[in-house]
Structure 1
Amino acid sequence: MNKKTYEVLAETFRREDIDTCFALLGDANMNWATSLAGMGVRMIYVRHEHCAVAAAMAYARKTGKVGVATVTCGPGLTQIMTALPAAVRANLPLVVFAGEAPLKSGWYNQGIEQAPFITATGATYHALHHPARMPDAIRDAFLEARTMCRPVVLGVPFDLQDRPWEGDLSLPAPSAELVPQVGPIPPHPDDIARAVERIRDARRIVVMAGMGAVLAGAGAACRRLAQRCDALLATTLPARGLFHSDPYCLGIAGGFSSEAGRKLMGEADLVIAVGSILAQHNADDSKLFGQAHVLQIDIKPLTVSQARIAADSHIRADARLGVEALAAATERRPVTWRSEETARFIRETPADAEPFPIEPDVHDPRGVVAALESALPQEWEMVNSSGHCSYFFAQMPSRPQDRFLTIREFGAIGNGISFAMGVAAARPDSTVVLFDGDGSLMMHVQEIETIVRHGLNVLICVLNDGAYGSEIHKLRSEGLSDEGAVFGRPDFAAIARGFGAEGERVTNLSVLPGLIDKFSRTGGAAVWDFPVSDKVLSPVIRRAHGKGKH
């Protein structure tokens, strides 16, 4: 009975079958975190609190487990405000152990009302102030994260953590034992019958899969449905690569669509959206599908999504069961759209063929991505960041969904290196390749040291245009000075070496196969700096901010 409360709380976490925790220590969480580490949980000690939560997000996505992070109270907690909305919108289950200011103090320098900050992001906050109830509250937090697929933050005053434990040492059953054991939701026959009529009357159909389809294992069923109804395939951005080997896959549906994808999706008169929330970007603000009827298959069907009418009819069902039932009930149609001509058009049309003059001594970013797509081993894990460069890196059609991570639901840059750490922790026997921009990488470049210190196997490929790419192009389109978004080209190779990693400035793409061969043999941490032109605008920027838009 000599245990401290923080030891009992750490033991309650350990019983939740966690094996990794991303942490930055302070007064209000360091005893708890040290106790958790002593119980065999792998601790990844990062250099910024945001990075702890962002890494836990990628870890949760890759493992299917609840991601766990810990930060201290006050400023430690306020630093995670950018990561939490992204986790909420990406439906990622997290539990964050955050301290709170000591209750016994009349005033504390780092004291702050923490709950409003957390709830403003859409996450849940629980203040744990009754020690005897704390183990049950932790179990309930994991249960909420698992069943609701969202982040839960626990605030525990650190003077209460330090008290001798006076409660029962028989801890509650872990949350996994309490998750309702229910089967997937089958579709109603009437919904299937109406959808079959809709398919029968349609001329050109696209079957589009989202993350719900990925999680339900609906990929094969979507292919069968597309074959039966002469449909083409597409995915949302997070699900990109689900149909990477199918010759009739258009790739990403949304702002990141290729030229071939935009043309063919614009011809569709029926889009069958499987396990997708039908976000604004997914339909490129309603400009992608034209006048197509949208049929949604989802366990939570909706009509309005992100302030737009997104779906016209619905099948309420598990993604896989819904698609399987629809495919079984659909009479096979004659092949017209799924022709060799269509497959050739998809295969041979460049994602973006817009010509740009490229200055000497810099690359076209599209050329860099094509070279990496050709040379990087298929089994390596890819991580795409946010920002202007992310469009280019998304155009890697040979990469399967389970080897390519994209989380960008909040539109924030600076997350890439954290996501790469999370994937590296989830896939310790794999090589992780991060694709990032210079502005994004600079936001948390200190985490190169974390990668080196923890022996994570991460290669960072950075497109270095010396600026915030989206901002310079938008400012220029407005006829305004881009001075506030131009910073010059950092020498990322030298920065990497300063942190103990390998660094290369790649001025000739022909050396890539040799560099990749060397890294495949040595592993470790490395940064490859690709100087690219700041004159190449992605199609996303051109459509929204091109010449004549303002």
Structure 2
Amino acid sequence: MGTPCYRILADAFVKEGVTDVFALTGDGNMYWEAAYTEAPGTRTINVRHEHAAVAMASAYARVADTVGVASVTCGPGVTQISTALATAVQARIPLVIFAGESPLHGGWYNQSIDLGPIVTATGARYIPVHSTARLHACVLEAFHHARSRNEPVVLGVPFDLQKEKVETPGEYTPSTAFLPDAGPRWPHPDYLARAVDRLRAARRVVVIAGRGARGPDARDACIRLAERVNGALATTLPMRGLFAGHKRDIGSAGSFGHPATGDALKNADLIIAVGASLRGYTSDHGRVFPPEKVLQIDEHPTGLARGRATAALFLAADAALGVSALADAIEAESPAPDWPDWGAEDYARRLRSEPIDSFEYPVEQGTLDPRAVIGALDAALPKDWGCVNSSGHSSFFSAHMLDRPAGTFLTIREFGAIGNGLGYAAGMAAARPNRPTVLLEGDGGLMVHIQELETIRLQGWKILICVLNDGAYGAEIHKLRADGLSDKGGVYGRNDLARMAEGFGIRGAVVDRLEALPGLIEEFRRGEGSMLLDIQVSDQVISPRMAMNIGLRK
């Protein structure tokens, strides 16, 4: 009789260790999805929009440190995910998306479209599954590529082929069996010596850790080196909180950095970037430090990223091994070199004692200053709750919450798309089911995929959705006003988001007093399910980053 291809494909996903799939069911994927869900220990999370499925899988992959998996139908099911795919490509998130294709052996079909160019235009890999003899090979190739390249892959499977019955192939061997166990990369001694010479000549050192330094050994090595050379510790934005609580922690570097962080980086004479891609955001495109100051430690340094030089000196090495080797070499010297106190701990104290921005704005009655809102939330929210920093104008303010470990604060800002917040919060909640998740979002971003409030309710996730509601698209209105143009196109008014949430079965509350926040957070903590706080913020307060971009401040 044979076995339907969709069952063989579903079994291969299970053998790859996939336990959670985010899906929107349609003709092109429903048979595969039904077969996958039959396997013990699996869960399919059904959503209301394909983009949200891929966004959830992206956050799940980042938080769980695994391959995220989503599933969509053919035609519009794939066209709908192009933005989420492009974001995952730029953020280097490993994903495998099972997508239906129009019938391989049929004639005209109303959802027929050439999926390959759509997928590859985003930078993702497209693998068409058009041969029943290559079912295992295609799944293996998809997962191997996702794992080894940290890139999303779309498997396109015609749904008439999925139902064909074939002889069951042999046992599926997962892609992990083909990932080379080559061990971590040790630094070459000649290049290590060159890096030591550069470090010895420096007097004001900042160690910046990126995602490549997220392991505890790399973190400890960075701290050890910074303490030895009287340096400061910083991170890229996605790794903010890696050094939380350390007396040398000066926060995240780049366009979202604290003024104290920017001052420290400008005054430093050596930046040691560890496991950081240096694609522009961390240096604020050269505004806070030039590549001439940078020693990059990375397993695969590129030298050029997005058309800009990354560093002047490179040490190809595993993050922990490279930084430890630097520290070992310095400590082995006799007499030991000495680095002056240039105020690294003072910069760290400024991070905690000075506001991110003290410019005075006319805050209209009945609204709140978003800077004060984030301060109040930071004080009231437990540090072990997960936090998602979404996109849009409000995301600058919410990026400045202290002492939240890197593994609990999710920032995926690549491609600049709003509307990902609910999906990312859901993905984090799925990956961390035993801890509440907090979403920090703008009203414009929420409205893009507000339908996923239903998904959140149906799944029973515990998510506190904090919406900084200025009744507008903040970035756009500030730019229009600065140029003396009408802001009408960016102003939508303050919709009653709390009542909208209640329409989806989620508790909602309007917040126009800071004093109300602690009580509402406690109500959320004690209660079941999710809650939305419609926080009324002023549309007059401009983030310092935006104010600089539009020429209002230097």
Aligned residue number for residue 480 of structure 1: 485
Give unmatched runs, 5+ long, in structure 2.
Answer: 331-335
Q: Distance in 1 between matches of 2:351 and 2:78?
A: 47
CA contact (8 A) 2:264 2:344 kept: no
Residues 340 and 154 (structure 1 numbering): CA distance in 2 closer, same or farther, change over 3 Å? closer
Aligned residue number for residue 333 of structure 2: none
Q: How does 1:351-500 map to 2 (within 5 A)?
A: 351-500=356-505
Structure 2 residue identity aligned to 1:390 = S
Q: Distance in 1 between matches of 2:457 and 2:321?
A: 45
Residues 544 and 184 (structure 1 numbering): CA distance in 2 closer, same or farther, change over 3 Å? same
Residues 340 and 140 (structure 1 numbering): CA distance in 2 closer, same or farther, change over 3 Å? closer
Residues 303 and 271 (structure 1 numbering): CA distance in 2 closer, same or farther, change over 3 Å? same
CA contact (8 A) 1:12 1:171 kept: no
Deviations 1:155-202 (A, max 9, x none): 0000011112x2334232111222211211011111121111111211
Higher deviation after alignment, 210-219 or 44-53: 210-219
Q: Distance in 2 between matches of 1:89 and 1:510?
A: 40
Aligned residue number for residue 8 of structure 1: 8
Aligned residue number for residue 288 of structure 1: 288
Aligned residue number for residue 155 of structure 1: 156
CA contact (8 A) 2:292 2:312 kept: no
Structure 2 residue identity aligned to 1:50 = H
Aligned mate of 1:348, from 342, 353, 365: 353
Aligned residue number for residue 224 of structure 1: 224
Aligned mate of 1:537, from 526, 536, 542: 542
Do structure 1's residue 107 and structure 2's residue 108 form an aligned pair? yes
Give the CA deviation at 1:422: 0.5
Fraction of identical pairs, as percent: 51
CA contact (8 A) 1:209 1:239 kept: yes
CA contact (8 A) 2:453 2:501 kept: yes
CA contact (8 A) 2:3 2:168 kept: no
Aligned residue number for residue 182 of structure 2: 182
SS at match of 1:208: strand
Residues 531 and 157 (structure 1 numbering): CA distance in 2 closer, same or farther, change over 3 Å? same
Residues 310 and 169 (structure 1 numbering): CA distance in 2 closer, same or farther, change over 3 Å? closer
Q: Distance in 2 between matches of 1:19 and 1:335?
A: 52
CA contact (8 A) 1:476 1:482 kept: yes
Give unmatched runs, 5+ long, in structure 1.
Answer: none
Q: Distance in 2 between matches of 1:499 and 1:268?
A: 51
SS at match of 1:266: helix
Q: Distance in 1 between matches of 2:134 and 2:344?
A: 64
Q: Distance in 1 between matches of 2:476 and 2:521?
A: 32
Q: Distance in 1 between matches of 2:216 and 2:449?
A: 34
TM (normalized to structure 1)?
0.97
Aligned mate of 1:512, from 510, 517, 540: 517
Aligned residue number for residue 303 of structure 1: 303
Residues 219 and 491 (structure 1 numbering): CA distance in 2 closer, same or farther, change over 3 Å? same
Structure 2 residue identity aligned to 1:392 = F
Aligned residue number for residue 257 of structure 2: 257
CA contact (8 A) 1:233 1:249 kept: yes
Aligned residue number for residue 75 of structure 2: 74
Q: Distance in 2 between matches of 1:435 and 1:46?
A: 21
Q: Distance in 2 between matches of 1:160 and 1:500?
A: 40
Residues 160 and 472 (structure 1 numbering): CA distance in 2 closer, same or farther, change over 3 Å? same
Structure 2 residue identity aligned to 1:180 = P
Q: Distance in 2 between matches of 1:332 and 1:289?
A: 25
CA contact (8 A) 1:431 1:523 kept: no
Do structure 1's residue 234 and structure 2's residue 239 form an aligned pair? no
Give the CA deviation at 1:482: 0.9
Residues 27 and 308 (structure 1 numbering): CA distance in 2 closer, same or farther, change over 3 Å? same
SS at match of 1:285: coil
Structure 1 residue identity aligned to 2:434 = D
Aligned residue number for residue 49 of structure 2: 48
Do structure 1's residue 38 and structure 2's residue 38 form an aligned pair? yes
Q: Distance in 2 between matches of 1:516 and 1:179?
A: 45
SS at match of 2:495: coil
Higher deviation after alignment, 507-516 or 225-234: 507-516
Give the CA deviation at 1:388: 0.6
Residues 172 and 435 (structure 1 numbering): CA distance in 2 closer, same or farther, change over 3 Å? same
Deviations 1:50-91 (A, max 9, x none): 010110011011111111000001100000000111111211
Structure 2 residue identity aligned to 1:318 = D
CA contact (8 A) 2:241 2:402 kept: yes
Q: Distance in 2 between matches of 1:20 and 1:339?
A: 44
Residues 273 and 28 (structure 1 numbering): CA distance in 2 closer, same or farther, change over 3 Å? same
Deviations 1:80-111 (A, max 9, x none): 00011111121111110001000122211000
Detail structure 1 runs of 4+ shifted over 6 Å in the superposition.
none
TM (normalized to structure 2)?
0.96
Do structure 1's residue 94 and structure 2's residue 99 form an aligned pair? no
Structure 1 residue identity aligned to 2:199 = I
CA contact (8 A) 1:268 1:292 kept: no
CA contact (8 A) 1:379 1:403 kept: yes
Aligned residue number for residue 23 of structure 2: 23
Give the CA deviation at 1:339: 6.0
Deviations 1:364-410 (A, max 9, x none): 00101000100001111111101111110000122110110001111
Residues 290 and 98 (structure 1 numbering): CA distance in 2 closer, same or farther, change over 3 Å? closer
Give the CA deviation at 1:267: 0.6
Do structure 1's residue 312 and structure 2's residue 317 form an aligned pair? no
Give the CA deviation at 1:519: 1.2
Residues 216 and 173 (structure 1 numbering): CA distance in 2 closer, same or farther, change over 3 Å? farther
Residues 362 and 300 (structure 1 numbering): CA distance in 2 closer, same or farther, change over 3 Å? same
Q: Distance in 2 between matches of 1:183 and 1:167?
A: 39
Aligned mate of 2:527, from 522, 525, 549: 522
Q: Distance in 2 between matches of 1:450 and 1:542?
A: 37
Aligned residue number for residue 86 of structure 2: 85
SS at match of 1:479: coil
Give the CA deviation at 1:476: 1.2
Q: Distance in 2 between matches of 1:217 and 1:131?
A: 45
